[in-house]
Chain A
Amino acid sequence: MSRKALIVVSIISLTFSLAFSDAKGEKILKQVSSTVSAPKDMKAKLTIVLIDRKGNKKYRKAEMYAKEDEKRIIRFTEPADQRGIAFLSLPGDIQYLYMPAFKKVRRIAPHIKNTKFAGTDFTYEDLSTSKYDRDYSADLIRENETHWVLELTPKPGVKKSYSKMIMHVRKDNYYPDKVEFYDKNGTLTKVLENLKISRQKEYWYAEVALMKDLKENHSTKMILEEVSFDSNLSDKLFTRRQLIRWR
């Protein structure tokens, strides 16, 4: 075979394999998204552990209700003097905050997506994204016996605060157990580890998740307890009226 032909062939095969891997990446991501957002609704108790650079821990407890991916209430139950502080998220980037001490509901501006949620290392965006395939395109960059490693980049026109995410997806259940977040400058800033992935009914979920902010050397652990899926939560639950009434 001539040299030229060799080059042509290798280019073709390279293109082919790239295209193939692209398609495969997308496919995996789609599977991931449907795995992560499979339940119709969810109810759980949440323990949030804030760990500072010196290893000091702060605890918060909350209860969480979620429905149809975009409706969510998180209400803090501990510490006692912050009991009742609650967030309500509704479709269309609408967020409300309720402060029981003032009995007041305040709308929160939508552009806060890249600010931290309640002092944790999760941003509002981190908490709200589960339909990854809607916002990101994926490349399969490598795989081994147990994992696929995807590189996620925001689709054109989609505004995200990360330039890319590297997602390690388990082959056995399509659940990601590690996500690395890169900022706009392309530096790794945060790492999410799903330390314990459990199954209830047919659903997989991250029972223990740890988000590390590498820049601030601060991390947040979220532990889910008393999780229940598909308990037919009413839409009325996700209203301002309900936000206030809780005692």
Chain B
Amino acid sequence: MKRLAEFIIKWKYPVLIVIGIITVFFLYEIKNLKINSDWSTYLKKDDPTIKLSQYVGEKFSGNVTAIVAVEADNVFSPKVLSAIASLTRALESVEGINSVTSLTSIIDIRNVDGILEVRNLIDNESIPEDSASLDSLRNYVLSKDMYSGRIVSADGKLTMIVCLLDHDADEESVARKIKEIASKYQGRLKIYYAGIPMQMLELNRIIRTDLYRLVPFAIIALILMFYLNFGDFKSVFLPLVSVVISTIWCIGIMVISGVKFSIVSNALPVVLITVGSAYGVHLVAHFRELRRGILDRKELIKTTLMHVGIPIFLAAVTTIVGFISFIGSYLTIITEFGIFSAIGVLIALLISLTLIPILLYFVSRRTFNERSILDKPLEKLLLSIKRIVLHHNKWIIIVFAIIILVSIAGLPLLERDSNIMRYFKKNTEIRVAENLMKKYFGGSYTVQILVKGDMRDPAVLKKIMELEKYLNSIKNISKAQSVADYICEMNRVMNGHYTIPESRDGVANLYFFIENEPIMEQMVDRDYKEGLVQARIYTLDTGEIIKLVDAVNAYIKDSLNTRLVYARRDIIKNKTFLDSLAIEQAAKKVLYDLEEYNYAGDSDFVDIKVELENGLKRRSYPYNEERKKKLHTRLEDFFMYESAIAVEEENLFRQLVGGFVDLISMGTPPDIESIWDVFNATGADNNFDREELKLTVESLYDIWTDFFNRARVDYIAHKLGQIYSFGESENIYQDVMSDLWVLNEDVILLPDAVARKYGIEGRPIKLEMEQTGSATIFKRLDESIVKSQVKSLIIAIVLVYFLLMVQLRSFKGGLFALVPIVVTILFNFAIMAYTGTPLDTATVMIASIAIGIGIDYSIHFINRFKMEFSHNRSVENILETTLLTTGKAILVNAISVIAGFLVLIFGELAPVQRFGWLISITMVVSMLGALTVLPALLISTRAKFIGDFSAVKFFNRNRKRRDKQ
């Protein structure tokens, strides 16, 4: 320290110039400050959850969506629709946007009276104008599960324009562009923004404004505190300049090394300014103390540095240790915060030990205000602390012991909050949009399940449909969707029932409709080897999210990763068992749908099953007039245009149509013989080419099967409709009908183990599933917060203990010095637990920072206490001097630090606010601990590492009568 002092005084001008140049350089760099608001990067890149999410992002052409939501009294008006159309078109041309899905760009395939219509749901170029077609459009869109609650709200008031970003797009700049484009429509339309890129934009703004607002506040708070303490501006100015310079350096280094600001590091400047100022304050305070006795200014600077240089150095080192304990955290932003706070403190130390002495050298001839306004009240307070410690040291220990116990009891109550959404205040744009998303679309966060298997295999798709039904049944999950839904929808259009076709060719044929639609890229990979199931999450509550993530994982493990086989039902030996299995599966689906539509009442599975069994047992199913008419039309059409044989003679034509209407409408199962019989009866069998006739018979068999299946399912659906009172025109009827379709199928999916038990052979299905999506990332963040907490606490405590032990040369001394800080940490957790303040990305750091800063108090206190012990006669005197000198410095430092940190409660993000007030309370406790329980322990145990207590008196004169201790 002596040499340092000599060096800086000798080289004062070059040192000043160097510091000046570096500062200007870094100040210049700060304008390049970048902000990282993408919370999905807060986990380490090699984290398996992140890796999977990245993989899905690449495979499914980006899984990052930005949502522009448009609100209107009625979305289905020409004005709104045309605005959506032009907005959609404008967004489509933005670089970095892969595809845009909106009412005017989504593909719609429907069957209108047997005629297929394949087109955009709403044609960009011919938006309906008249109210009749608008109404029918509205009714159609809102009635379809594929659109209602997905792209447009069920009440038709809110609609989404979903922009899927390219995997390698710069999310922030795309988001900015989206906002720029969409805001031109603001006014004409009410517009909201949701999705991660839009949130990033908002976060970015908040981080920036916080930065510009909080730093000046923190500086003002410190100026005020220093002035109250020192009473003159010279003493205020010196520590302040040094921390401002070191903060500039630190952020400059951050910018140069390419590290971006995050929601955590935006507290960094305030933390640095607050923490770093302590070193300057100690120097200035000691300098003022000494300048009364030493006149030579070189000597004065040297002595000041020699006296307080080492304690300041130690204090900085412990603080650095506190920050270093974050390095290697599971969260990258905390690691970054740790690294740069540590660097910042180091710089503050260096600047304080060089710049301040030089500046003090220059101002040492000036006069200083000797006493400040604060001196009197502080001394009074410290003297009463002295009295309490002397007389009631056992009680202090007991009180602190109670605090420890109560705190430990509260630990299990500690909550966690990893959901970034909750970091925003309730009235922010982002929260408002999120609430809308929740209300109308089931939330904007997703559960995703990556399915590895042949996406053209009907068995795989069937299993996916099952998974979706399960997902929708979990609390807080809704709107599960995948390519399987599109296949079902296409099947409905083509064949009239919302099911996965039985054959691979059937699936492939249906893919033909949608194969090259942009929406496919989000659902299935190019090779049809992987698919993605997505569902929405309603809740933002971390605990609930973890629950649902676990539930989905359990389901995947239990039911989906068991081996499956696809078995034929039409093989006689398996029939009875497989039929009962089919009934079971269909009944399950029906029950689920009844519950969905709130029809279930007190219905139970067995009732439904019985109904299905009975329905299936029938020999024939009734044909009403309508169905007969349909059959008639179909057969006429068939013989006229499709049949392999061309029936040109009108009489025969009518005979055949009539004959087959009669045959099929008996309602019995199809059979080839009866078809031949009809031909034989008309004598037609001799008039046609045998081969062509055979083909015709086969076609008629197919037609019959179609009608029979439909009649059978309709019959059972009607029966169920009678029981649960729903009619054919209702949506539920269609759903139940599709549920029952399983009964018509010749194939069935069953677990391998079951198949083997009953000796059923089938085709094994290869299928794997993995969960990903924002829910899993939240869960991972949550786990990481807890792990980070435990890890950094252990590191901090161990390192600090080691430092203390070395410095005090005593195992026990190290432990004693830790006591106030351990109490502080526990107290911090207790407050969080009892006030329901969660551990989050910022509050997770409090404990370690508290160690780093708070331990200084113990060090300073023990040092002074020990020093005083060597030249004082009584414990009371030792304590009094320690308290009035070092104790006062601790008190002043704590008050300033608190004033600085409290500024953070004006931050916009919840974690920063929580961080602000919690660390302030922590500082109070830490300071009180050092000033009360620490001396109480030292005195009551007569600690040997301090000195020989038997060699000194306890009290000063005339106090014996009160001495009962």
- Interface contact A184-B125, CB-CB below 8 Å: yes
How far does the alpha carbon of A140 sit from the alpha carbon of B118 in the complex, in Å? 36
The answer to the question of B505 belonging to the interface, with a C-beta cut-off of 8 Å to chain A, is yes
Q: Are the CB atoms of A109 and B116 closer together than 8 Å?
A: yes
- CB nearest neighbor in B for A245: B644
Asked whether, in the complex, the Cβ of A112 is within 8 Å of the Cβ of B118, the reply is yes
Q: Is B695 an interface residue (CB 8 A)?
A: yes
Give the docked Cα–Cα distance between A101 and B515 (Å). Answer: 16
Is B509 a contact partner of A100 (Cβ separation < 8 A)?
yes
Residue B117 lies at the interface, judged by CB distance under 8 Å to chain A: yes
Write out the residue numbers on chain A whose beta carbons fall within 8 Å of the beta carbon of B643: 241
In the complex, which of the residues A50, A215, A240 contacts B642, with contact meaning CB atoms closer than 8 Å? A240
Q: Verify if B456 is at the interface (C-beta below 8 Å from A).
A: yes
Contacts of B511 in A (CB 8 A): 82
| Contact string against B for A residues 208-234, beta-carbon threshold 8 Å, 1 for contact and 0 otherwise | 000000011010000000000000000
The residues in B between 629 and 663 inclusive whose CB is less than 8 angstroms from any CB of A are 641-644, 646
B506: interface (CB < 8 Å): yes
Q: Which residues of A contact B646 (CB under 8 A)?
A: 241
Q: A106 on the interface (CB 8 Å rule)?
A: yes
Once A85-B509, A241-B643 are accepted as A-B contacts, the answer to whether A101 and B516 lie under 8 Å apart by CB is no
B51 at the interface (CB under 8 A from A): no
Q: A81 contacts which chain B residues (CB < 8 A)?
A: 456, 504-505, 507-509
Interface membership of B435, Cβ < 8 A: no
Stretch at the interface among A25-33, A113-121, A165-173: A113-121
A102→B644 contact, CB < 8 A:
no
User: B93 to chain A: which residues have CB within 8 Å?
Assistant: 215
Specify which chain B residues have a CB less than 8 angstroms from the CB of A184 in the assembled complex: 125
Asked if B593 is at the interface (CB within 8 A of a chain A CB), the reply is: no
* Separation of A101 and B491 alpha carbons in the complex (Å): 11
Task: Determine the distance from Cα of A43 to Cα of B123 in the docked complex, in whole angstroms.
Answer: 34
Bound form: Cα–Cα A184–B85 in Å: 13
The answer to the question of A103 belonging to the interface, with a C-beta cut-off of 8 Å to chain B, is: yes
Q: Contacts A81-B505, A241-B642 known; A102 to B119 CB distance under 8 Å?
A: no
Would B641 and A239 count as touching, CB distance under 8 A?
yes
Query: How distant is the Cα of A183 from the Cα of B643 in the complex, in angstroms?
Result: 43
How distant is the Cα of A240 from the Cα of B505 in the complex, in angstroms?
A: 21
**B509 proximity list for chain A (CB < 8 A):** 81-82, 85, 99-102
Check: A40 CB closer than 8 A to any chain B CB: no
Q: Residue B494 contacts which of A102, A111, A183, A244 (CB distance < 8 angstroms)? A: A102
Evaluate contact between A118 and B116: CB separation under 8 angstroms: no
A56 in contact with B526 (CB, 8 Å)? yes
Q: Which of B92, B518, B526, B699 contacts A103 (CB 8 A)?
A: B699
Number of B positions contacting A (CB below 8 A): 40
Give B679-708 as 1s and 0s: 1 = Cβ < 8 Å from A's Cβ atoms.
000000000000000010001001000000
- A109 near B117: Cβ-Cβ < 8 Å: yes
The contact of B118 among A56, A79, A85, A115, by CB within 8 Å, is: A115
- A56–B503 Cα distance when bound, in Å, is 28
**Residue interface mask A70-88, B partner, CB < 8 A = 1:** 0000000001011001000
- How far is A79 from B505 in the complex, measured between Cα atoms in Å? 11
Kindly identify which residue among A58, A82, A108, A244 contacts B508, using a CB–CB cutoff of 8 Å.
A82
Nearest B-chain residue to A79, judged by Cβ: B508
Residues of B469-519 at the interface with A, using a CB-CB cut-off of 8 Å, are 494-495, 501, 503-509, 511-512, 515-518
Is B951 on the interface with A (CB-CB < 8 A)? Answer: no
Q: Quick one: closest A residue to B491, CB to CB?
A: A102
Query: In the docked arrangement, what's the CA distance between A111 and B115, Å?
Result: 11
Q: Evaluate contact between A119 and B115: CB separation under 8 angstroms.
A: no
A97 interface residue, CB < 8 Å from B?
yes
* A100 in contact with B505 given A109-B112, A112-B117 (CB within 8 Å): yes
The answer to whether A102 and B125 touch (CB under 8 A), given A56-B526, A81-B456, A245-B644, is no
Given A100-B509, A101-B505, A107-B114; A115-B119 close (CB under 8 Å): yes
Residues in A neighbouring B111, C-beta threshold 8 A: 106
Contacts A119-B515, A241-B644; is A104 near B495 (CB within 8 Å)? yes
Instruction: Bits for A110-142, please: 1 = Cβ < 8 Å to B, else 0.
Output: 011011101110000000000000000000000
List B contacts of A102 (CB < 8 A): 494-495, 501, 506, 509
Asked if A237 CB lies within 8 Å of chain B CBs, one says no
Separation of A194 and B394 alpha carbons in the complex (Å)? 98
Report B-chain residues with C-beta under 8 Å of the C-beta of A116.
516
Q: How far is the CA of A184 from the CA of B125 in the complex (A)?
A: 7
CB contacts under 8 Å to A, within B112-168, are: 112, 114-120, 123, 125
Quick check: is A161 within 8 A (CB to CB) of the other chain? yes
Residue of A nearest to B504 (CB): A81
- Rounded to whole Å, the gap between the CB of A213 and the closest CB of chain B is 11
Query: Quick check: B92 and A215 within 8 Å, CB to CB?
Result: yes
Expressed in whole angstroms, the Cα–Cα distance for A196 and B343 within the complex equals 67
Let me know if A195 is at the binding interface, CB within 8 A: no
A50 touches B118 (CB 8 A): no
With A81-B505, A103-B699, A240-B642: A108-B495 Cβ-Cβ less than 8 Å: no
Given A82-B509, A102-B506, A245-B695, A108:B115 Cβ within 8 A: yes
Residues of B close to A38: CB separation below 8 A: none
Cα(A85)–Cα(B646), bound, Å: 23
In the bound complex, do residue A112 and residue B119 qualify as a contact, i.e. CB atoms below 8 Å apart?
Answer: yes
The residue on A at minimum CB distance from B495 is A102
**Taking CB as reference atom, which chain A residue is nearest B114?**
A107
B503, closest chain A residue (CB): A101
**How far apart are the CA atoms of A115 and B508 in the complex, in Å?**
21
Task: Judge if A105 is at the interface, Cβ distance under 8 Å.
Answer: yes
Q: A103-B702, A106-B116 are in contact. Are A161 and B494 (CB under 8 A)?
A: no
CB distance from B630 to the nearest CB of A (A): 15
* Contact assessment for B115 and A244 in the assembled complex, using a CB-CB cutoff below 8 Å: no
* Chain B contacts with A in 69-96, Cβ cutoff 8 A: 89, 92-93
Instruction: Find chain A residues with CB under 8 A from B517 CB.
Output: 119
Contacts of B699 in A (CB 8 A): 103, 244
CB distance from B583 to the nearest CB of A (A): 25
A229 to B699, CA, bound (A): 34
B118 near A106 (CB under 8 angstroms)? no
Q: How far is the CA of A102 from the CA of B709 in the complex (A)?
A: 14
A184 to B124, CA, bound (A): 10
Give the CA-CA distance A161 to B125 in the complex, in Å. Answer: 8
Are the CB atoms of A111 and B642 closer together than 8 Å? no
Report A-chain residues with C-beta under 8 Å of the C-beta of B118.
Answer: 108-109, 112, 115
CB-CB under 8 A from B504, the residues of chain A are: 81
* Distance of A101 Cα from B517 Cα, bound (Å): 21
Q: Which chain B residues (415-474) contact chain A, with CB distance < 8 Å?
A: 456
Residues of B within 8 A of A241 (CB): 641-644, 646
Report the minimal beta-carbon distance from A51 to chain B, rounded to whole angstroms: 11
Q: Is the CB of A99 within 8 A of B642?
A: no
Residue A101 contacts which of B89, B114, B120, B501 (CB distance < 8 angstroms)? B501
Known: A101-B501, A102-B494, A104-B495. A85 touches B512 (CB 8 A): yes
Distance (whole angstroms) from the CB of A164 to the closest CB of chain B: 14
A236 to B, closest residue via Cβ: B646
Contact of B116 among A56, A100, A107, A240 (CB under 8 A): A107
Q: Known pairs A241-B641, A244-B644. 17 more at Cβ < 8 A?
A: A56-B526, A79-B508, A81-B505, A85-B512, A99-B509, A101-B503, A102-B494, A103-B699, A106-B114, A108-B118, A109-B116, A109-B117, A185-B89, A215-B93, A216-B518, A240-B641, A240-B642
What are 24 A-B interface contacts by the 8 Å CB criterion? A56-B526, A81-B508, A82-B511, A82-B512, A99-B494, A100-B505, A101-B508, A102-B494, A102-B501, A102-B509, A106-B116, A109-B117, A112-B117, A112-B119, A114-B119, A115-B118, A119-B516, A119-B517, A215-B93, A216-B518, A240-B641, A241-B643, A244-B699, A245-B695
Q: Which 8 A-B pairs rank lowest in CB-CB distance, beginning with the nearest?
A: A119-B516, A81-B508, A101-B505, A101-B509, A101-B506, A109-B117, A240-B641, A99-B509
Which residues on B are within 8 Å of A, measured CB to CB? Answer: 89, 92-93, 111-112, 114-120, 123, 125, 456, 494-495, 501, 503-509, 511-512, 515-518, 526, 641-644, 646, 695, 699, 702
